[in-house]
A and B are shown apart, each in its own frame.
Chain A
Amino acid sequence: MNDIKTLVIMQLKDKLDLGFIKDKAQLIRKIVFFVLRFIIVAGIAYVLFYVSSFLRIFHNSPFIPTSVMTMLLTIMLVISTFACTSELIKSLYMAEDNQVLVTYPISANRIFLSKIIVFYLYEVYKNFTFSLPIFIAYGMISPVNWFFYIWVFISFFVVSMIPVVLGVVLSIPGFFITRFFAHYQILKIIVFIAILSGFIYLLVRLILLIPAEINILHYWGPIKVLLSDVTNVFQNYFKAVYYVVIMVVGKYDITMKYTYLNNEVWLVLLCLVGILAALFMAAYFLARFIFVKMTSTSFEYEKRFRLKALLNRRLPTFLSFVRKEIRLLFRTGQFTANFIATYISIPLFILLINQIFSSMDLYPNGQFAVQAFNILIIMLPLLASNSTIATIYSKEGRTAYMKRTKPVEIVFPLFAKLIPNIVFSVASLLASLYIFNAHMHYLSSNIILLAVALVLIQVGHILFCALLDLMNPQNEQYATAGEQISNPNEIKATVFAFITSFLVALITLGLLVEEQFMPYQSFNYAFLKILLLSAAFFGVAIYMFVAKIKAYYYDRIN
């Protein structure tokens, strides 16, 4: 048993960074933060429950029904199960550390078991920081039994098993699907694009369903009815989760008090443990077989390169660096995730908020606020996503020196690295502005001036973020600690993004109010002024970028 314990601790150190345990001060700080976080989550949940009770959101009644907790737990379990499945596929069958772990004097079965225990402990940790405080808050507003406050802690050890066991089961077909797509990359891309397009299409259709007139106060009634119906759907169709909720909070008795003096509660607990154990055992024997097979055939996933002779084509210096960066970018899925999260979601978000605003009949001051708010919402996520630029050179780790060895002006490789982000972010910005203008109907000259101004701010901010990385490189940290470091440049870039976005939005608001500009009016000097300010910002950024490259790249070497 000790060997499993050692393995678990070893892997937990990787997942949770347990270095604080040995340092007493750090340990106390961690515990205080954990408790604070627990209290904050419970506090927020309590306030939300209290407001729901006060406003009689559910069935026009001040009492929060169990169905609300059924809905919340279902959502949390679904998310956790998906996360566990995807992580388990990687960790059980495709992890690189498997090949190291199998060299230890311990059986593969135990390694396999230790990996699942690590996931289970991580799930317990996640539940204790999020789901459990929500249940405690629910207990505080509901007529629960005193026993609830003891039992809820114990029951969450059982609840945490659900996503892990389901994850182990689902990881088996998941593994075969992943393996299938790994062999047919083109199919993988087609399926990915099809799912993404379908999702975007559905989202746009959903956004366009927003009614033409919105009156927040008058819609309150239908919203309440809808929320009550949705919670009832969860209670009726997710019976298994409802029984888990009963197991945690107790069963509402005939006097409308939660009690544990009920066979149903204990029967559910026994059934749940039994079903989980049976599922786990079945999946364990099957998944273990795949695990052992995968670890024993270590080169299973090494790519079989098809050698193909290509003619060496000489490209202009800058273009060849850009080409290299594009290739590097799409080699890992990391950029794709960031690309979807930011560049695709911003235009969709702009469509959503403009659809809402166009349904409101606003005073002129409201029109100014809407225009400035649109600019804020376009710029804020775009600029905040530039924080990754503040890590772009450092992430190269110790290979960064290779740039210095190239017999070219250093500005070429450094600037080429920013090109993909500039291109995609500007495309996203222009798409967002197109949607914004489709609702606002600006005159072409006004929207063009605004678009150029915002593009200049975006590119200028990218240059400033890159500069932060150049001035305070973190290459050594990335080389030794990997991706999981807290990069001060990233934090500075995010703060700078917030300040810049708010300033841009406030200046725009000020200028629009000063000029009393309405969207349908003709050419307006407000946009010319915004453009001039942006050009100044961009000018400073480009000047500093070139000047600092000289200071931090050439002069530092010498």
Chain B
Amino acid sequence: MKKSVILIISTLSLVAIILIGLLFQRAEVYNETIYVQKVVCTSIRIGDDYYDTFWNERSQRYLVENPEEPEKEAPLLFIDQLTIDVIYEIQPMDASTQTVTFSTNSDVSIASIEEATGRIVFYKPGIATFTITANDNNNESAKLKIRTKTLDG
């Protein structure tokens, strides 16, 4: 059989499965709403590198984990325009609304965060705290504290 025929059949099947699933599945299945129970900040990304975060009971915040010393905070090395992506997870994973909003109450001269994307930019060294709030349930949020410092401390 020709590759193009296989491709057409596969695409057709995928489209049909999705269409039948969406059009003919009983409405009760979709009407069930699952609310967000918890927002978890799992890691941060700088460039292509991921840094794990951990939950600190005392400060009630997620902190960036030192890769060599688990459960210990690691300050990030400040470089002008240091850009960080916040990586988070929603629990339960099949929550109906998965979107969140990012915000910060910290000094805007130190760092800012994009409300929709969660991209953080540091302008000067210091400490900044960011909040990830579930859009379907304002009571569910997670706070992330990031500390940056220069080489000379």
CA–CA, A357 and B21, complex, Å: 8
Is there an interface contact between B96 and A232, defined as CB atoms closer than 8 Å? no
CA–CA, A551 and B67, complex, Å: 82
| B 78-110 to A, binary, CB cutoff 8 A, 1 in contact else 0 | 010111010111101111101010000000000
| A 31-63 to B, binary, CB cutoff 8 A, 1 in contact else 0 | 000000000000000000000000000011111
Q: A168-221: which residues lie under 8 A (CB-CB) from chain B?
A: 214-221
List A contacts of B17 (CB < 8 A): 353, 356-357
Is there an interface contact between B89 and A222, defined as CB atoms closer than 8 Å? no
List B contacts of A253 (CB < 8 A): 47
Is there an interface contact between B29 and A384, defined as CB atoms closer than 8 Å? no
List A contacts of B46 (CB < 8 A): 254, 256
| B 1-22 to A, binary, CB cutoff 8 A, 1 in contact else 0 | 1100110010011001110111
Instruction: Determine whether B25 belongs to the interface, using a CB cutoff of 8 Å to chain A.
Output: yes
Is there an interface contact between A61 and B47, defined as CB atoms closer than 8 Å? no
Instruction: Determine whether A365 belongs to the interface, using a CB cutoff of 8 Å to chain B.
Output: yes
Given contacts A218-B96, A255-B82, contact A362 B87 (CB under 8 A): no
Instruction: Determine whether B50 belongs to the interface, using a CB cutoff of 8 Å to chain A.
Output: yes
B93 (CB) vs chain A CBs: closest residue: A221
Is there an interface contact between B26 and A63, defined as CB atoms closer than 8 Å? no
Give the Cβ gap from B96 to chain A, nearest Cβ, in Å.
7
List A contacts of B81 (CB < 8 A): 254-255
Is there an interface contact between A218 and B82, defined as CB atoms closer than 8 Å? no
Give the Cβ gap from A144 to chain B, nearest Cβ, in Å.
14
Is there an interface contact between A370 and B20, defined as CB atoms closer than 8 Å? yes
Is there an interface contact between B93 and A222, defined as CB atoms closer than 8 Å? yes
CA–CA, A256 and B45, complex, Å: 9
The number of inter-chain residue pairs (CB within 8 angstroms) is 130
Residues of A in contact (CB 8 Å), total 53
Is there an interface contact between A365 and B24, defined as CB atoms closer than 8 Å? yes
Task: Pick from A252, A341, A361, A387: contact of B25, CB below 8 A.
Answer: A361
Instruction: Determine whether A380 belongs to the interface, using a CB cutoff of 8 Å to chain B.
Output: yes
List B contacts of A357 (CB < 8 A): 17, 20
List B contacts of A362 (CB < 8 A): 20, 24-26
B81 (CB) vs chain A CBs: closest residue: A255
CA–CA, A373 and B17, complex, Å: 9
Is there an interface contact between A366 and B25, defined as CB atoms closer than 8 Å? yes
Given contacts A357-B20, A361-B26, A366-B23, contact A66 B96 (CB under 8 A): no
Instruction: Determine whether B48 belongs to the interface, using a CB cutoff of 8 Å to chain A.
Output: yes
CA–CA, A303 and B136, complex, Å: 73
Residues of B in contact (CB 8 Å), total 48
Q: B44-90: which residues lie under 8 A (CB-CB) from chain A?
A: 45-48, 50, 79, 81-83, 85, 87-90
CA–CA, A356 and B20, complex, Å: 11
Give the Cβ gap from B1 to chain A, nearest Cβ, in Å.
5
Give the Cβ gap from A223 to chain B, nearest Cβ, in Å.
9
CA–CA, A225 and B50, complex, Å: 15
List B contacts of A251 (CB < 8 A): 47-48
List A contacts of B48 (CB < 8 A): 65-67, 235, 242, 246, 251-252
A-side interface mostly:
helix
CA–CA, A256 and B122, complex, Å: 12
CA–CA, A217 and B1, complex, Å: 34
Is there an interface contact between A63 and B117, defined as CB atoms closer than 8 Å? yes
CA–CA, A80 and B55, complex, Å: 45
Give the Cβ gap from B26 to chain A, nearest Cβ, in Å.
5
Is there an interface contact between B1 and A342, defined as CB atoms closer than 8 Å? yes
List A contacts of B16 (CB < 8 A): 373
Is there an interface contact between B85 and A494, defined as CB atoms closer than 8 Å? no
CA–CA, A365 and B94, complex, Å: 27
Instruction: Determine whether A377 belongs to the interface, using a CB cutoff of 8 Å to chain B.
Output: yes
Is there an interface contact between B117 and A363, defined as CB atoms closer than 8 Å? no
CA–CA, A216 and B26, complex, Å: 12
Task: Pick from A67, A218, A242, A494: contact of B2, CB below 8 A.
Answer: A494
CA–CA, A481 and B118, complex, Å: 60
Given contacts A251-B47, A377-B9, contact A338 B1 (CB under 8 A): yes
Instruction: Determine whether A292 belongs to the interface, using a CB cutoff of 8 Å to chain B.
Output: no
List A contacts of B22 (CB < 8 A): 216
Task: Pick from B29, B100, B121: contact of A215, CB below 8 A.
Answer: B29
Give the Cβ gap from A72 to chain B, nearest Cβ, in Å.
15
Is there an interface contact between B96 and A217, defined as CB atoms closer than 8 Å? yes
Give the Cβ gap from A490 to chain B, nearest Cβ, in Å.
8
CA–CA, A246 and B34, complex, Å: 40
Task: Pick from A59, A341, A367: contact of B87, CB below 8 A.
Answer: A59
Given contacts A62-B117, A384-B9, contact A216 B21 (CB under 8 A): yes
| Across the A-B interface, the 5 shortest Cβ-Cβ residue pairs | A366-B24, A252-B47, A256-B83, A221-B93, A218-B94
A-B contact pairs, 24 of them (CB 8 A): A59-B45, A60-B87, A60-B98, A61-B87, A63-B117, A63-B119, A216-B22, A218-B94, A221-B90, A225-B93, A254-B81, A254-B82, A254-B83, A255-B83, A255-B121, A256-B47, A256-B85, A338-B1, A341-B1, A342-B1, A361-B25, A362-B20, A363-B26, A365-B24
Apart from A215-B94, A255-B83, 18 more pairs, CB < 8 Å: A60-B89, A61-B85, A65-B45, A215-B29, A218-B32, A220-B94, A232-B50, A252-B48, A254-B46, A254-B83, A255-B82, A256-B85, A338-B1, A341-B6, A360-B20, A360-B24, A361-B28, A384-B5
